Amino acid sequence: MTEPVPVNLSELTTLRVGGAPTQLVAPPDEAGLIAAALEAWAGDEPWALVGGGSNTVAADAGFDGVVILVRTRGIERLDPVPESATDDDLDGRPVRIRVQAGEPWDELVAHTVANGWAGIEALSGIPGTSGAAPVQNIGAYGQELSSSLAAIDFLDYESGEVERLSAADLRLDYRTSVLKQGRRGVVLAIELELRDMTPQAEVLGTPLSRPVGYPQLAQALGVQVGDRVPLTDLRQSVLGLRAGKGMVLDAADPDTYSAGSFFTNPIVTESFARTLPTDAPRWKQAEVELPDRVIPLDEYAGVGPVPGSQVLRTVKLSAAWLIENAGIHRGFRLPGSRAAISSKHTLAITNTGGATADEIGQLARFVQQRVQSDFGVILQPEPVFVGFSLL
């Protein structure tokens, strides 16, 4: 189970930076993953999880602790989900699957599309493992994991017990969850509820996707937002769009040596957004209720209306627009640096060859400073940092 050291984290991450950890373990199955985590937690050394390494920035000096590689595999179809009165063949029928945390995400999507199961097809091409997906509620092209996630099996750090957490327990939001906000542990498996669209094939000749929810994707498919298309067509279109942005891993293309989108799209109040240029893209978000006084945690569970609260209207901004309009263009790099903004997508920071984590960090901080100086917005990084910080 223990792999030879030194194995640099640069060999295990898509950004290709990072030194060797003190110890590296790769459990072959779920029981081994539980045992490895409990053993690591029983010691005094720091620990970290690495799945596909696609959303990770590791320090050049390595990691002074235990790195657990999540490599467990398996997709299991569960007992049929009871159908509701609204279920019909044209909208598909519910199907539930349990997926081991180490299952590569895009291979999972390919498996569901091949079986005629809809719900995550627009998430094609996203690198990484299935267990990492709920941590930041992955999303793309009008779909988010939250629309299909039923539950996860989770080894909790505090209790040392395996718990089943529902999607509601995870408090999934835009690129975040309780797992990203401080609840520590290991995702062992995820449970998805999808729609079995194979009954449609008897009527329409092919299983159809969920309604297309993103204008750029609809345009690429030649349809309107809200239309449905063959599952395989939607997957191929998404893969094409992502490849055009350097967001599909390609060993021959250094633009794909990245951690994906390095910054999340900021969510700000509607009143703040009015201070930005009128051509700055913005999308309305759900209204948020905030208390107008400090409420002790033992009095407020964060559920339901709060007496004396005020409603804030929020909007989501385009991080890519902010970066570009702060004067940072595609292909930009600091003098002498081997880290660069992708030549295809402003949100990605790439390793052009031999870049260090420090060079990645320098460029990321420069982007943050320029955007904050020009627009008053502090961009938040999306990747997980292992022995590394932008502060």
Query: Catalytic residues, which ones?
Result: 175, 261, 382
For the chain, count helices (H), then strands (E): 9, 21
**Rounded CA separation 242/38 (Å):** 38
Alpha carbons 212 and 222: distance in angstroms, whole number: 11
Token representation of residue 84: 């509701």
Angstrom distances, CA of residue 31 to CA of 151, 175, 188, 196, 296: 19, 29, 9, 30, 40
Question: How buried is residue 129: exposed, middle or buried, by Cβ count under 10 Å (0-12/13-18/19+)?
Answer: buried
Radius of gyration of the CA atoms of the chain, in A: 22
Sequence-ordered list of residues with C-beta below 8 angstroms from that of 137, at least 6 positions apart, any chain: 144, 145, 146, 170, 172, 173, 174, 175, 176, 177
Concatenate the DSSP letters of all residues of 316-340 into one string. Answer: EE-HHHHHHHTT--TT---TT-SEE
337: which 2 tokens? 């640096």
Q: Which of 99, 49, 94, 93 is nearest to 74 (CA)?
A: 99
